[in-house]
């Protein structure tokens, strides 16, 4: 004996047949000189189809009811509610032989569509063609992403350029800077000729030029008069004497 349950609703007359279509999502590709290959995918959703008969009168002795005879309208109303609710439900086929349960089909499904047919050959019954599709639960997953606290980068302010003296601004009196020449320095010392490692300031410092690198932003390297290294300075920071 078979019993069909649609969301706990027992069908009064067991359908004569039921079709369960289990479809795959496999993909076929054609390779050059290798023919076809089949890329296996997870199985698709199972589709279920069957025709149910609903008695309109209580004169079918083989019909079964869980709570006594119910009019056909109650079964049609149940199908309508399942369609409108947009919610999944359980579909169960119970297979019993004597007092032994053979096996059950118990699946969460959704009502895809149903068709009501009234045919004279069905007598006092309404025929309903039902199509169900397997429903799989799904949901979103929350992921917490931890970010390192924001650390602002230090602001590097450019060093102010010393203002040239009035005597050095005179184009007629300005002399060329050469290695070994004596200069007066008014500016900040740096570790290299590209302005890295700013250090002490020199004001009206008398020294000598021992290196020149015109590719750098601080092209002149200054020493003491006795040759002790001081650092690199801007071109505008020196005046030849």
Q: Would residue 125 count as lying in a domain?
A: yes
Helix (H) or strand (E) run with residue 5 in it: strand 2-6
- pLDDT tens-digit profile of 130-140? 999 999 888 77
> What pLDDT, on the 0 to 100 scale, is given for residue 206?
95
Q: Would residue 215 count as lying in a domain?
A: yes
Q: Would residue 19 count as lying in a domain?
A: yes
- When divided into structural domains, the chain yields a total of 2
For residue 111, what are the domain limits?
Answer: 2-134
Q: List the CATH number of the domain containing 54.
A: 2.40.30.200
> What pLDDT, on the 0 to 100 scale, is given for residue 171?
45
> What pLDDT, on the 0 to 100 scale, is given for residue 172?
45
> What pLDDT, on the 0 to 100 scale, is given for residue 166?
47
Q: Would residue 96 count as lying in a domain?
A: yes
> What pLDDT, on the 0 to 100 scale, is given for residue 165?
53
Q: Would residue 14 count as lying in a domain?
A: yes
Please check whether residues 33 and 115 belong to one and the same domain.
yes
Of the candidate ranges 94-108, 113-127, 145-159, the one whose mean pLDDT is the lowest: 145-159
Q: Find the mean pLDDT for residues 3-15.
A: 92
Residue ending a domain, choose from 96, 111, 134: 134
CB neighbours of residue 94 within 10 Å: 16
pLDDT confidence bin for 47, thresholds 50/70/90:
very high
- pLDDT tens-digit profile of 146-171? 877 777 777 777 777 766 554 444 44
Please check whether residues 11 and 84 belong to one and the same domain.
yes
Residue ending a domain, choose from 103, 134, 165: 134
> What pLDDT, on the 0 to 100 scale, is given for residue 167?
44
Please check whether residues 28 and 110 belong to one and the same domain.
yes
- pLDDT tens-digit profile of 171-227? 445 689 999 999 999 999 999 999 998 999 999 999 999 999 999 999 999 999 999
Q: Would residue 206 count as lying in a domain?
A: yes
pLDDT confidence bin for 97, thresholds 50/70/90:
confident
Q: List the CATH number of the domain containing 203.
A: 2.30.30
Exposed e or buried b per residue across 44-54, where buried means at least 16 C-beta atoms within 10 angstroms of its C-beta: eebbbbbebbb
> What pLDDT, on the 0 to 100 scale, is given for residue 158?
76
DSSP state, 191?
S
Exposed e or buried b per residue across 10-24, where buried means at least 16 C-beta atoms within 10 angstroms of its C-beta: bbbebbeebeeeeee
> What pLDDT, on the 0 to 100 scale, is given for residue 185?
95
Please check whether residues 51 and 128 belong to one and the same domain.
yes
């Amino acid at each position: 004996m078979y019993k069909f349950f649609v969301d706990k609703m027992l069908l009064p007359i067991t359908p004569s047949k039921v079709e369960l279509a289990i479809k795959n999502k496999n993909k076929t590709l054609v390779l050059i000189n290798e023919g076809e290959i089949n890329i296996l995918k997870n199985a698709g959703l199972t589709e279920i189809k069957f025709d149910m008969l609903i008695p309109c009168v209580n004169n079918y002795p083989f019909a079964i009811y869980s709570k006594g005879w119910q009019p056909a309208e109650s079964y049609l109303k149940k199908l309508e509610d399942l369609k409108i609710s947009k919610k999944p439900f359980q579909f169960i086929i119970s297979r019993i032989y004597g007092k032994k349960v053979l096996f059950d089909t118990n699946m969460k499904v959704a009502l895809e569509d149903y068709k009501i047919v009234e045919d004279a050959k069905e007598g006092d019954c309404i025929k309903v063609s039902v199509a169900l599709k397997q429903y799989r639960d799904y949901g979103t997953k929350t992921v917490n992403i931890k970010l390192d606290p924001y650390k602002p980068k230090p602001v590097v302010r450019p060093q102010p350029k010393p203002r040239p003296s009035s005597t050095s601004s005179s184009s007629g009196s300005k002399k060329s800077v050469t290695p070994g020449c004596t200069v007066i320095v008014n500016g900040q010392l740096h570790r290299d000729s590209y302005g890295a490692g700013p250090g002490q300031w020199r004001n009206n410092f008398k020294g000598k030029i021992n290196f020149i690198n015109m590719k750098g932003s601080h092209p002149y390297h200054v020493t003491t008069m006795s040759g002790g290294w001081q650092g690199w300075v801007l071109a505008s920071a020196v005046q030849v004497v």
